Amino acid sequence: VPAVARCHPELYDELLKEKVATLEASLRSATSYAPLPTVEVHESEREHFRMRAAFQVWHVGDEPDCSRHLVMYEHGNRDPHEIDRFPMGSRKINELMPVVREAIQPAVLGRKIIDVRFLTTQTDDALIALAYNRDLKGCKEFTTEEWEQAAQDLHQKTGATIVGRSRKFKVVVGSNDDTVTEKLEVNGRALTYAQQEGAFTQPNAGVCEKMLAWAHDATLGSEGDLCELYCGGGTFTVALAPNFERVVATELSKASVALAERNLATNSINNVRVARVPAEEVAGALKTGTTPRRLQNLDVDLSQMGRGSLFVDPPRAGLDETCSQIAAGFDRIIYVSCNPETLARDVRLLAPTHSIKRVAAFDQFPYTDHLESGVVLERRA
């Protein structure tokens, strides 16, 4: 197994300890005048922890008779490494890989294919996405119908949904849509999620359950409402909603809003309103006490939410200036981060008014420098 895909169980404890120490040091520098709570560390499985994976396809020889190989690249190196086994990937991914490798050798599925992506779940559901540098709507070599028949054969062999992508075109074979079904256990509750091909999902399902359980525990006994920024497909929204009277969740992506609403309905949660609005409008509503037109159907008095709770799970860049201003207005902030550096930066900005009550480290990405983390901040008396 090439180094880029290799697991090192014998080094796991040491590598995680180093990442946690870096997180502690960053947060201590951000709150130097206050003690830091003990970091709650949540470990990953040592192998088969990634539920999704992407491989580029390396073509050896001339089209259409070339051989095709699933490859990955070391960071900063453009030499391809063929991946026959992927110990980091779920067992389902490893089961599907040789079948897909064989299926893309004939030109009807393999010609000008550029990458293969797997999305799997703990329920053993699976989706395989094939992306092309040719027009799947019909080219001189193959019709769309011929591609769909070959994709149907792959679906029959694997049971997976097959998605084909080319420029401005997408086709789904073997299912009504491009989603898989995941079930996550959160403090005794079985939550069901639709996960969509191409949308963000937490790659490590086992650690995701621990993240949801931690956030749920951190908000038990809450009073009032919750405001959530960056809600995505509603992963945290579904888990946290029962702890609050009402929830307002915001997201800019139209597809993510639809997915979040679907997941809320699936789990019979009816105290959440999902709004497709930018953070600037939320900030304005919280500051002025007025409700913009796009928020008028939420049936929530945003002017009162400043005394409640805020949940944020931002991208690696952390909170932008507007979201930082929003956060400062809340009594309690639950902040989940995929970047300890920007987390520390944002905590430093909030330190004059808020103190850290809980800190957690979640090893979403074993054998890498990346660490998911969470903090609970509360307004100082």
**Residues belonging to the active site:** 338, 372
- In sequence order, the 6+-apart residues with CB closer than 8 A to the CB of 170 are 163, 164, 178
In angstroms, the CA 148 to CA 69 distance is 22
In angstroms, the CA 135 to CA 143 distance is 10
Q: Radius of gyration over alpha carbons of the chain, in Å?
A: 23
- Neighbour-count burial of 317, counting CB atoms closer than 10 A to its CB (0-12 exposed, 13-18 middle, 19+ buried): exposed
Tell me phi and psi for residue 215, to 5 degrees.
Answer: -65, -40
**Extended beta strands in the chain, E state:** 39-42, 52-60, 67-73, 80-82, 113-120, 126-132, 161-166, 169-173, 179-186, 189-196, 226-229, 247-250, 272-275, 309-312, 332-337, 354-362, 372-379
In angstroms, the CA 194 to CA 278 distance is 24
- What H or E segment, with its residue span, contains residue 342? helix 340-350
Three-class SS state of 311 = strand
Tell me phi and psi for residue 15, to 5 degrees.
Answer: -65, -40
In angstroms, the CA 147 to CA 132 distance is 12
In angstroms, the CA 10 to CA 25 distance is 25
* Other CB atoms within 10 Å distance of the CB of residue 127: 25
**Beta bridge pairs of residue 149:** none
In angstroms, the CA 327 to CA 332 distance is 9
In angstroms, the CA 230 to CA 99 distance is 37
